[in-house]
A and B are shown apart, each in its own frame.
Chain A
Amino acid sequence: MTEELVAGILAGQRRAIARAITLVENDGSEAQAILAAIHSHTGRAHIVGVTGPPGSGKSTLVNDLALSFRRGSAGHPPQTVGIIAIDPTSPFSGGAILGDRIRMRDLAGDPGIFIRSMASRGSLGGLAWATADTVRLLDAGGYDLVFVETVGAGQAEVDIAKTAHTTVVVEVPGLGDDIQAIKAGILEIADVFAVNKADHEGADHAVQVLQMMLDLNSPGPHAVMHHSRLIEVAAIAGQTADTPAWRPPIHKTVATRGEGIDGLVEAILAHRAYLERTGNLVWRERERAASELETIIQQEALRRVLAHTDGKQLAALIDQIARRELDPYAAGQLLLNQPSQAYRG
């Protein structure tokens, strides 16, 4: 079964890819086997994140961008496109309404496009747990470009920058003053800005505010802020005084009319070229691997500790913490330091 699915994915069979995504979402043991088998076939796709507030037009922009990349132009050949569109899971029922396909009608019937809607399932960073692995499946399935559209993001949903090579932040006119723009968070992760709904009043002001924010950024290390790991500054290949840092370009768009899309496409391609030229792509891949490995270790350590902890013992520890008889750090150490034989198997 697993081998059949893996062969299907690598052959680009849509049914196999769709089935595998479900397995990854449900986190079965088969998912791990599939992901292990395809790992060496990944790393080819360019991953583009699209994030921004709810209602800013992300889905419509992704629709337009996908059409443009499928068509290709003088500068770049047509590319196949995978799309992962994430919407929030209800914190009350655990259900979700995934409505991004409504805005992507133009893409129906094109075998070079694969769209998957995904519920966030409790993940808080703007993506779902399964997003990164789904990107890998589409990558292995042969899609040249993978768009990841986040849930409607506020200020702190910045996980997309860890998953994407190029992050497009979508803003709309009238969202706030220049103080909003110098706050930390989502604006810092942009590689490209789209000021969408540019036919609305205040579009030029929104562009100005973003320009001002970018002018205040110090040159050089800025690009490093993507992963909020300043410590890695010295380790970046190509990030030296003679390779100027990337300054995120700002493009005005009206997604519903397809205006400004060509500029946005050019900006995404230029950013990809920049990443390759400076060695930044390699560095980002490494950062991503580090962050993923960390997550895997955390989850697996938690799973093992819980699997070998007696439910009653756990409940007793929790009670002790709540009664202030034991501090949570000591309880954590206690569980982690159980006799090592408990972790075998």
Chain B
Amino acid sequence: MPDKKIRVLIAKPGLDGHDRGAKVIARALRDAGMEVIYTGIRQTPEMIAEAALQEDVDVVGLSILSGAHLALFPRIVSLLRENGLDDVLVVAGGIIPDEDVPALNDMGIGGVFGPGTPTDEIVDFIRGQVL
């Protein structure tokens, strides 16, 4: 019967094509009972914001290994806000230097999870923020 599920969009912005990590996260969130919309690699900020709007997700998870996070993330966050998705939690993972994390937090990225983060930690974080 119908019930409330946490909906998560997993997207890879930018040009790197390594989606292993994104798939591992998608699978872990699925196993935690969430509905994961997986959009694949090479997504533009516009595509991500549009998909988040249509899918009415609670969480947007961004995976990036190219180093372009400081260039791409602000655009994604501002497009989400433009679309009226003010309450969407945005989290990020991939190769993101520690010194960049405060800046990302300031621009509205709720959590940054680097390599080696236990997937349970990410699941708990999302549950804590969304429920």
On A, residues with C-beta under 8 Å from B are: 14-15, 18-19, 21-22, 25-27, 89-90, 93-99, 101-102, 105, 108-109, 114-117, 119, 121-122, 129-130
On B, residues with C-beta under 8 Å from A are: 1-5, 7, 26-27, 29-40, 44, 46-47, 50-51, 53-56, 83-84
Q: Which residue of B lies closest to A101 (CB)?
A: B39
Interface SS majority for chain B: mixed
Q: Which residue of B lies closest to A20 (CB)?
A: B56
Instruction: Kindly list chain A residues whose C-beta atoms are within 8 Å of the C-beta of B35.
Output: 89, 95-96, 98, 119
Closest-CB distance, B101 to chain A (whole angstroms) = 28
B40 and A18 contact, CB distance less than 8 A? no
Instruction: Kindly list chain A residues whose C-beta atoms are within 8 Å of the C-beta of B56.
Output: 18-19, 21-22
A-B contact pairs, 22 of them (CB 8 A): A14-B53, A18-B54, A18-B56, A22-B7, A26-B5, A27-B1, A27-B3, A93-B31, A95-B36, A96-B36, A97-B36, A97-B38, A98-B35, A98-B36, A101-B37, A101-B51, A105-B40, A108-B46, A108-B50, A109-B46, A109-B47, A116-B55
Instruction: Kindly list chain A residues whose C-beta atoms are within 8 Å of the C-beta of B46.
Output: 108-109
B2 in complex: contacting residue of A21, A27, A90, A108, CB < 8 Å? A27
How far is A129 from B53 in the complex, measured between Cα atoms in Å?
22
Known: A102-B38, A109-B46, A116-B55. A95 touches B31 (CB 8 A): yes
Instruction: Kindly list chain B residues whose C-beta atoms are within 8 Å of the C-beta of A95.
Output: 5, 29-36
B33 and A97 contact, CB distance less than 8 A? no
Instruction: Kindly list chain A residues whose C-beta atoms are within 8 Å of the C-beta of B37.
Output: 98, 101, 117
Instruction: Kindly list chain A residues whose C-beta atoms are within 8 Å of the C-beta of B53.
Output: 14-15, 18
Instruction: Kindly list chain B residues whose C-beta atoms are within 8 Å of the C-beta of A101.
Output: 37-40, 51
Q: Which residue of B lies closest to A303 (CB)?
A: B1
How far is A109 from B79 in the complex, measured between Cα atoms in Å?
13
Instruction: Kindly list chain A residues whose C-beta atoms are within 8 Å of the C-beta of B1.
Output: 27, 122, 129
Known: A97-B38, A121-B2. A109 touches B30 (CB 8 A): no
Instruction: Kindly list chain A residues whose C-beta atoms are within 8 Å of the C-beta of B50.
Output: 108-109
How far is A21 from B53 in the complex, measured between Cα atoms in Å?
12
B26 and A18 contact, CB distance less than 8 A? no
Instruction: Kindly list chain B residues whose C-beta atoms are within 8 Å of the C-beta of A19.
Output: 56
Closest-CB distance, B86 to chain A (whole angstroms) = 11
A102 in complex: contacting residue of B34, B39, B54, CB < 8 Å? B39
B36, B51, B54: most-surrounded residue (chain A CB, <10 A): B54
A18 in complex: contacting residue of B4, B30, B31, B55, CB < 8 Å? B55
How far is A90 from B31 in the complex, measured between Cα atoms in Å?
8
How far is A98 from B50 in the complex, measured between Cα atoms in Å?
16
Instruction: Kindly list chain A residues whose C-beta atoms are within 8 Å of the C-beta of B39.
Output: 101-102
Instruction: Kindly list chain A residues whose C-beta atoms are within 8 Å of the C-beta of B34.
Output: 95
Known: A94-B33, A97-B27. A26 touches B2 (CB 8 A): yes
How far is A45 from B36 in the complex, measured between Cα atoms in Å?
28
A26 and B40 contact, CB distance less than 8 A? no
How far is A161 from B26 in the complex, measured between Cα atoms in Å?
32
